[in-house]
Amino acid sequence: MTDVAQAFVPGHLTGFFTTHSDTDPTRAGSQGGGIALSTGVTVTVHPAEQVEVVLNGSTVEMAAVERVLETLKTRAVVRGVTDLPLASGFGVSGAMALGTALSCNAAFDRQLSTNELVTVAHGAEVQAGTGLGDVVAQARGGVTVRLEPGGPHHNVLDGIPANRRVEYLTLGDLPTADVLGGNTDPIDEAGTQALSAVVEEPTMDSFMRASRRFSRESGLLTTDVREVILDANEAGGQAAMAMLGKTVFALDSALSEAGHDPTVCQVHHAGATLQTPHGV
């Protein structure tokens, strides 16, 4: 069968992370913690002679998506539509890769399991250098704690059982590849400490505290992001920086109560899912 297929993939905000390189991209990745968002990316795949990747109406270069198409031996036009800000720490590239894998599996009847499709998308994203942990968290949904890095055959995941409103505010873009290409020692050290704190106390309160501390100690916190976080804290709320982006995220109404005008969404409990009635 070759048919049109569509998937929805939640956005994903990372609060803290470590980096793990490996010659095998299905073992490489990151530990860390993040929140799947009800705002995400809808990915539609149309089988076609010529590969094209379109995001919000514009043709784009997305190495992770192209790698997924190659791995699944498919040629298609991939269209992503999203309200999420781009290059701002919401996992849009991971969502495009994972949505492509799920949709192509249905459209081209590839008969792969969920773990196999997540492995393909995770490996493609790692090789493209655009993300380390978004794909596996976007496949799971909810608030994910990534205890061990890698794709589904190697990683270990847990979660914080939470149902919360999430607000976010983006102050500009910050391409992931630039940061991950530099010295990651301060990131890895701060990320390991943040993970320990959240494993010790798996609550949203602890997650937000660990994320704030991570942003300071990793050296990734920017002055403008710091000011917005302080606004929210002074108003009695919880905010932190989204990795990697110039984005502040907060629980409940911490940003709006501090006088900002954030976008509002929710924790998204489901992982990435096919939207078209498929799954032969």
Question: Which residues here bind its own copies, judged by CB under 8 A?
Answer: 102, 105-106, 111-117, 141-143, 145, 152, 158-165, 199, 201-205, 252, 267, 269-271, 273-280
C-beta of residue 98 within 8 angstroms of C-beta of residue 272: yes
Report d(CA 93, CA 180) in Å as an integer.
15
To the nearest whole angstrom, how small is the minimum distance from the Cβ of residue 216 to its own copies? Answer: 23
Amino acid at site 97: A
Query: Which CB, 208 or 242, lies closer to its own copies?
Result: 208
Q: How many CA atoms lie within 13 A of 158 on its CB side?
A: 13
- 139-160 burial string, b = 16+ CB within 10 Å, else e? bbbbbbbbeebbbbebbebebb
Query: Which CB, 121 or 244, lies closer to its own copies?
Result: 121
Query: Which CB, 204 or 232, lies closer to its own copies?
Result: 204
If DSSP codes are grouped into helix, strand and coil, which group holds residue 1?
coil
- Tell me the pairing of strands 143-148 and 246-251: unpaired
To the nearest whole angstrom, how small is the minimum distance from the Cβ of residue 275 to its own copies? Answer: 7
Query: Which CB, 65 or 220, lies closer to its own copies?
Result: 65
Report d(CA 209, CA 99) in Å as an integer.
32
Query: Which CB, 192 or 275, lies closer to its own copies?
Result: 275
To the nearest whole angstrom, how small is the minimum distance from the Cβ of residue 274 to its own copies? Answer: 4
To the nearest whole angstrom, how small is the minimum distance from the Cβ of residue 9 to its own copies? Answer: 12
To the nearest whole angstrom, how small is the minimum distance from the Cβ of residue 139 to its own copies? Answer: 9
